[in-house]
Amino acid sequence: MQQTRIDQGTAYWHKFKDRWPNIQALAEADLSDVLKAWQGLGYYSRARNLHHAANIIAFDLDGAFPENAETWRTIPGVGPYTAAAISSICFEEVIPAVDGNVIRVISRFLGIHSPIDRPEGRQELEAFAENWISPQYPGDHNQAVMELGALVCTPRKPDCGACPLNEACLSRINTPGETPEPPIKLGKTTVRDVVLDFHVIVTDHKVWMRQRPAPGIWAGLFEFPSNIHPGERIERDRRTHFPPEPPWKSLISLGALGDPFHHLLSHRKMHVQFWLWKGSLSQGYGEGEWTDWNCAEELALPRVLERSWKDVKNSALLQIR
């Protein structure tokens, strides 16, 4: 659930636990099935890392989970926070787990006004966390601070009256009754406009699907062949850019689906448009393969395709006749 709300991830967690109840089962699963189960949750490298990690633990480590943060850090997808959280909570290692909640709690308590995404602010924060961690109950301490941040010391309008730290909290003292200024972040992610063209290549019964390469957006997920390029305007002559060569047959109007719509990512504003092409079963169209529509629905798809799938399919089947 890295960078993901518990509310958003909990249903997925139950689904994973039911389907793959232990590390061996997850290790032996097909990656495509894991990705399909992850569909819609985002940050899909986490699914690949989880599967990879399960294999390392099940086979390389003979099913023995690491028991300290240093070893956990060698597992793919496990960074400083996750290693510290697991090791302190499961094995009572005395190491602070610093997530977004903890950053907010400590930066407010200390009144840190230097940006917490810079070395100075970060160092100040880490130093305090190291001193603060309870040697007796490191796991409980870490969970308590995280819960404090999640339930009381919230990003907006924290409930300072309910906070056990309010007496000494510099941020509360300096800005009573308001949303505290810390944490200060410098690096704001810029949202860039990109144009995303999906090329829906169909025959009477099949559609050409490809798996997206790693690294990059939606790596490992499936899609209609696509182009992503900078900008926000759909150029009139886009069809001359794609496909680059025959054997492309003809372009068919998708009607309303031809109108671009917006799909938002944290760092991109995508202007999405579908293009429908009539293909031939005897031809290939680059990476990918001919797929039955109902089989394609079993593949892991990015949200933008999950949402538009029915409209695209219906329109394609209608137009192709």
Judged by CB under 7 A, the number of residues near DNA is: 58
**Contact mark string toward DNA, 169..198, x via CB under 7 A:** --------------x-x-xxxxx-------
118: contact with DNA by CB under 7 A:
yes
User: Which of 7-28 are b and which e, b meaning 16 or more Cβ less than 10 Å from the residue's Cβ?
Assistant: eeeeebeeebeeebeebeebbe
135: contact with DNA by CB under 7 A:
no
Cα–Cα separations (whole angstroms), residue 96 to 125, 144, 176, 259 = 11, 11, 28, 50
Structure tokens at 102: 């903890």
- State the nearest-atom distance from the C-beta of 310 to DNA, in Å: 16
What is d(CA 178, CA 73) in angstroms, rounded to the nearest whole number? 39
> Which sign, positive or negative, has the C-alpha torsion 303, 218, 19, 9?
negative
- State the nearest-atom distance from the C-beta of 38 to DNA, in Å: 9
Nearest residue (CB) to DNA, 250 versus 266: 266
**Contact mark string toward DNA, 220..239, x via CB under 7 A:** --------------------
Using the rule CB under 7 A, which residue among 26, 78, 129, 276 binds DNA?
78
First to last CA, the chain: 45
The answer to whether 172 and 166 are in contact (CB under 8 A) is: yes
262: contact with DNA by CB under 7 A:
yes
How many CB atoms lie under 10 A from the CB of residue 80? 16
What is d(CA 312, CA 307) in angstroms, rounded to the nearest whole number? 10
Nearest residue (CB) to DNA, 72 versus 208: 72
Using the rule CB under 7 A, which residue among 29, 36, 81, 94 binds DNA?
81
Nearest residue (CB) to DNA, 149 versus 279: 149
Structure tokens at 221: 């997920």
- State the nearest-atom distance from the C-beta of 301 to DNA, in Å: 8
Which residues here bind DNA, judged by CB under 7 A?
1-8, 40-45, 49, 76-83, 99-101, 104, 118-119, 143, 146-147, 149-150, 155-156, 183, 185, 187-191, 215-219, 262-268, 302-304
